[in-house]
Structure 1
Amino acid sequence: MRYRRFGKTNLWLSVFSLGTMRYLDSEAKAIETVQQAVAQGINHIETARGYGKSEEYLGVALSSGVDLPRSQLYITSKIPPTAEADTMRRYIDESLKRLKVDYLDCLAIHGLNTWEHLDLVENSCFSGVQQAIKDGQIRHFGFSTHGSLELILKAIDSGLFEFVNLHYYYFFQRNAAAVELATQKDLGVFIISPADKGGRLFSPPTKLQDLCAPFSPLALNYRFLLSDRRITTLSLGAANPTELTQPLSVADRDHPLTSEELKVLADLETHQSAILGTDKCSQCYACLPCPENINIPEVLRLRNLAVAYDMTDYGQYRYRMFENAGHWFPGVKANRCTSCGECLPRCPENLDIPALLDDTHQRLNGPSRRRLWE
């Protein structure tokens, strides 16, 4: 296991952090998984008020013989933005009680996803956080986000936060500018769900496996992230001890990408361009805003991956969350397109966006999906 400085918090975190969103139905599995993770070098565990019984189960696990002093075990919990400082203080007290700890090493705003959320932090609940810090209940403050790049940059630049939890992977590099700005501002960078949201890479399609050979797609994505020294730690959402094995097999491989790895990544790009041809969306986001509130770049990113790499299962998983996950995954499905044409002159590649949106909907639509803890 390798350890890195978590920005201005000055905490040294393991390059993999144990995320506990999937501790929804088994206290025994939670205890076993936490103990095994700590035994293998993980010193940072992340939970949230909104993750079902996760805080409660983690509290039991932490009091069940974890072989690491509290001063060397770092606990993060997340609380949504609140309209009142007193509500934030109450939520903090409740989280501490469930976790059976006297303080949180890190508290993150959970889901700073809209401009209204940032306003709530700046003008409402931040004073409650400040008081909790003064009282010794919280040591460091940050935010977790599924929001737009513009919002993330604004939040990083606000000076309120010491770390950021965000989406950034080989197959989604939109937030590269946020990683860079966080580094410049000395914020710790925590990458959310690189195995699942990063492409469901724990069960990759055969085509993607073949294109990534001799590496697995998951290991290659981990290496892409671990080789980036701006990134502190990656979330590992193991629901049982066996799910620790594959990620932790690369936990000491944080050296620069090798020539062979770089060649595979370059070949992936070449393959995508060849397969998609003139239908490839380059993710410039110039097509937005859409009057129907379609997240055109994200829809077409999912199409890129499905067509080029057979990542249809992942595309369906994400696409079906449109209209069902609120601000966690904003936008409507592509069949809402009215072919108004407003996006067409803004596209530098002259894509037939309405036709591509229709094609994506036909490929990826199906039963609705919701957030896991819902």
Structure 2
Amino acid sequence: MQYRRFGKTGLQLSVFSVGTMRSLSTAEIFTKTVSAAIDRGINHIETARGYGQSELLLGQTLQQLGAATRDRLIITTKIPPTADAASMAAQIDESLQRLQIDAIDCLAVHGINTPEHLAWVQAPEGCMAALQAAQQAGKIRHIGFSTHGSLELITAAINTGLFAFVNLHYYAFFRRHEPAVKLAQQHDLGVFIISPADKGGLLYTPPARLRELCAPFEPLHLTYRWLLSQPAVTTLSIGPAAPDELAYPLAVCDRTESLNAAEVAALARLEAAAQETLGSDRCQQCYACLPCPESINIPEVLRLRNLAVAYDMAEYGQYRYRMFENAGHWFSGRKGNRCTDCGDCLPRCPSELPIPELLRDAHQRLNGPDRRRLWG
């Protein structure tokens, strides 16, 4: 296992972190999984008050493992932004009680996803006042934020200077947030990548075409290597549901060097295949089409279409697409079938894409039954 400095926190984090959002069937399996991760060199465990019983289970596990093990671990929990300091203060105390620890190493404001959320943080009587008071009292050590928001919002949050780390989406198949990662590095923020296996492409179960294009590498390992080759990235989240699910993702835990020639060639094959397959219908992800009068998240809809057409990643596309209109500010925007053919986006697209036509095609390929999220 390799370790990296988590920005201005000064903490040395393992380049893989255990995230506990994924359901673990029993307290016993939870403890065994966390213990196995620690045995493999992982020293960072991430939870949230919104992850069901995760904080309670982690607290019980820490008690079983003992003080010596706790002292070697870095614990992160996350609490949603609140408009007032009192609510945040109460929730910090509740998380400390559940976790059964004296101090939370890293506390992230969970989901700065809208301008309103950032305004709550910055308000004189908002949640940052409670976070800073708790920090001064020794209840928490470092303050950061997680986000599913836009690049512009993430940039604005980093530029406040209020945070020491950021949890965000950034993957080989989603590079929109590269400027935010670079900005975080300039501000010396630690960078935690949210679920690159799952949110980054359902890469535990890749389609045959994607595996063929990535060969001799597994798609999962190639995207991990792409991330870990970037010094600005500190740690990647994995979400094992049992100890035996650790071996596959951690196969590259010692590989943080620059990409080698074979890895670069595999990524080039992916790019060439996308261009050949999509041709003039390929969305270049410039975001010039926004805003849409119908609030369709045009770039994301077309990104999912790109992946489905180019790499047969239809299952992933369907998984993400059905979150539109079903996950609130955690996955903003409306589905492609909401297009009214108003044409506002057409003159703004530098690729001159037939956007309404592509939105309908994406909807036909990717729409499926609504499903509830694991946590709300």
**TM norm. shorter chain > 0.5:** yes
Q: Which residue of 2 aligns with 1:45?
A: 45
Aligned mate of 1:146, from 148, 151, 154: 148
Q: Which residue of 2 aligns with 1:258?
A: 260
**Where do residues 16-35 of structure 1 align in structure 2 (5 Å cutoff)?**
16-23=16-23, 25-35=25-35
Q: Which residue of 2 aligns with 1:322?
A: 324
**Where do residues 205-216 of structure 1 align in structure 2 (5 Å cutoff)?**
205-216=207-218
Deviations, residues 63-84 of structure 1 (Å, cap 9, x unaligned)? 1126853332100000000111
| Aligned mates of 2:261, 2:234 — CA distance in 1 | 23
CA contact (8 A) 2:288 2:348 kept: yes
Q: Which residue of 2 aligns with 1:373?
A: 375
Q: Is residue 180 of structure 1 aligned with residue 160 of structure 2?
A: no
| Aligned mates of 1:324, 1:192 — CA distance in 2 | 20
1:25, CA displacement in angstroms? 3.9
The 1:332/1:343 distance shift into structure 2, 3 A limit, reads same
CA contact (8 A) 2:103 2:141 kept: yes
| Aligned mates of 2:67, 2:263 — CA distance in 1 | 36
1:35, CA displacement in angstroms? 0.5
The runs of 5 or more residues in structure 2 that have no matched partner are none
Aligned mate of 1:302, from 301, 304, 309: 304
CA contact (8 A) 1:24 1:53 kept: no
CA contact (8 A) 2:24 2:30 kept: no
Q: Is residue 107 of structure 1 aligned with residue 95 of structure 2?
A: no
| Aligned mates of 2:66, 2:200 — CA distance in 1 | 30
| Aligned mates of 1:232, 1:39 — CA distance in 2 | 20
Q: Find the residue that maps to 2:75 and give its secondary structure.
A: strand
CA contact (8 A) 1:107 1:138 kept: yes
| Aligned mates of 2:190, 2:60 — CA distance in 1 | 28
Matched letter for residue 232 of structure 2? R
Q: Which residue of 2 aligns with 1:277?
A: 279
The 1:105/1:348 distance shift into structure 2, 3 A limit, reads same
The runs of 5 or more residues in structure 1 that have no matched partner are none
TM-score normalised per structure 2: 0.98
**Where do residues 39-118 of structure 1 align in structure 2 (5 Å cutoff)?**
39-65=39-65, 68-118=68-118
CA contact (8 A) 1:8 1:186 kept: yes
Matched letter for residue 203 of structure 1? T
Matched letter for residue 283 of structure 2? C
| Aligned mates of 1:252, 1:67 — CA distance in 2 | 27
CA contact (8 A) 2:169 2:177 kept: yes
Matched letter for residue 295 of structure 2? N
Q: Find the residue that maps to 2:142 and give its secondary structure.
A: strand
The 1:66/1:312 distance shift into structure 2, 3 A limit, reads farther
Runs of 4+ displaced beyond 3 Å: 66-69
| Aligned mates of 1:15, 1:225 — CA distance in 2 | 10
CA contact (8 A) 1:16 1:235 kept: yes
Deviations, residues 163-205 of structure 1 (Å, cap 9, x unaligned)? 0000001000000000000000000000000000000000000
| Aligned mates of 1:48, 1:367 — CA distance in 2 | 28
In the alignment of these two chains, the number of paired residues is 374
Matched letter for residue 33 of structure 2? T
| Aligned mates of 1:269, 1:370 — CA distance in 2 | 34
| Aligned mates of 2:372, 2:202 — CA distance in 1 | 16
1:337, CA displacement in angstroms? 0.3
Greater mean deviation of Cα atoms: 277-286 or 27-36 = 27-36
Matched letter for residue 321 of structure 1? M
| Aligned mates of 1:211, 1:321 — CA distance in 2 | 28
Q: Is residue 3 of structure 1 aligned with residue 3 of structure 2?
A: yes
Aligned mate of 2:244, from 231, 242, 245: 242
CA contact (8 A) 2:24 2:242 kept: no
Matched letter for residue 349 of structure 2? C
| Aligned mates of 1:247, 1:68 — CA distance in 2 | 27
CA contact (8 A) 1:303 1:360 kept: yes
| Aligned mates of 2:351, 2:45 — CA distance in 1 | 44
| Aligned mates of 1:339, 1:25 — CA distance in 2 | 47
Deviations, residues 341-360 of structure 1 (Å, cap 9, x unaligned)? 00000000000000000000
Aligned mate of 2:227, from 225, 240, 244: 225
Greater mean deviation of Cα atoms: 236-245 or 107-116 = 236-245
